[in-house]
Amino acid sequence: MAKRLSDLRPVYVVGIGLHRYQRPSDTPYVALGLAAVRSALADADLEWKAVESVFHANCMLGMAPTRVMLRHLGATGIPMQQVENASASGSTAFRNAVMDVASGISDVSLALGVDKPAPFTLASTKNGLDTLERDRVAAFTHFALLAQTYCAESGATAEDFARVAVKNHGNGAKNPFAQRQQSRTLSEILDAEPVAGFLTPLQCCPVGEGAAAVLVASEDAIRKYGLNRRRAPRVLSSTMRSERIYEPATGFDAALTEEAVTQAFAEAQIKPDELDVVELHDAFTVEELLYVERMGLCARGDAPRELRSGAFDIGGRVAVSASGGLLAMGHPLGPTGIGQIAEITRQLRGEAAGRQHPGAKTGLAHMVGVGAVCVVHILRNED
């Protein structure tokens, strides 16, 4: 690797905007996206004509959705491109926007995620190779298998997984942009009929529709447009890794996470205990336990005990999924990773009313995309 983000010019998040994540509706994707972008522009106090490039994350809209939507802001002729990287599409689009500014190509770039559920096919089903059980392994089954292994390694119980859902549904209840805005009791989570292994329905994320927009800018742009520097956290690191062969060949999601996060910490020159807020890929409850350990937020096998102690609550040692995470805020695919950046920015500004983690200065966003890839960003409010 010739350069890291820290070798390039600084990049700041200057504007955030969301359309609530929700069940699929008749709302056109154009309306979802425009709402998020206009909200981000208003948040930054920027005009559309200041934006110099767009990276649009989506998985299910079909070919060429971007200009069809954004022309309604005024057809300025700027470069626009679609970004697809499965669940990590939004994180990847954000990374692209960050790199566009860090490299000096643009002074202001927009990372936008808009998606609506529609039938899709994984390319791996067309690779010319048969598999024994592709049709039988839904996403929740993949993570139920990981949960079983985690239990054997750590002594965790079904209740430990359910407690992740209790926390994150509780956080989602305080987030007006969350798809699920209802607190749940342990028995509501635990006593439902399982879908696979330990996992019950409320331990699995909803895939709905929504939009998230984040504007990133250089110091030059902040000065030129008179933006509020104190509301603009800096992007300290941007890392992406893809799956290698791990020995033993199990738990690649966690191993891949550890690789990407380790690189992110090195690039940001911080340690795990400096994190105040973390938004991670908790599409299924077991993932939060696996990933907080691999991120170094606690020792291996200690996540259930730490969770029970409140360490990962808002107001705890480090707030994990203060937005509600994928479990409650939702996982509309394209927007998800960008929505994480919006939540962390809100927390670092001290503007997350009702779910603010006190004194939040540094945050980490993490997504895994099937395939598999992992994208990690670390942000810090330097003021």
Nearest distance from residue 186's CB to another protein, in Å? 20
Which are the contacts of 63, defined by CB distance < 8 A and separation ≥ 6?
Answer: none
What is the residue-wise DSSP string for 313-379? STTSSSEESTT-HHHHT---STTHHHHHHHHHHHHHHT--TTSPPTT--EEEEEEEETTTEEEEEEE
| Bridge partners for 209 per DSSP | 22
Q: How far is the CB of 144 from another protein (least distance, A)?
A: 4
Other CB atoms within 10 Å distance of the CB of residue 135: 8
Query: Cβ 251 to another protein, closest distance in Å?
Result: 9
Is 148 or 183 the residue whose CB approaches another protein more closely? 148
Contact by Cβ (8 Å): 324, 80? no
C-beta closer to another protein: residue 4 or 142: 142
Minimum distance of another protein from residue 293's CB (angstroms): 18
CB closer to another protein, 44 vs 151: 151
Closest approach, Cβ 284 to another protein, in A, equals 12
Task: Output 74 or 155, the one with its CB closest to another protein.
Answer: 155
**Interface ranges with another protein (CB under 8 A):** 128-133, 135-138, 141, 144-149, 152, 193-197, 245, 248-250
In the complex with another protein, the residue whose CB is nearer, 78 or 139, is 139
* Minimum gap (Å) between residue 247 Cβ and another protein: 10
The residue (of 143 and 291) whose beta carbon lies closer to another protein is 143
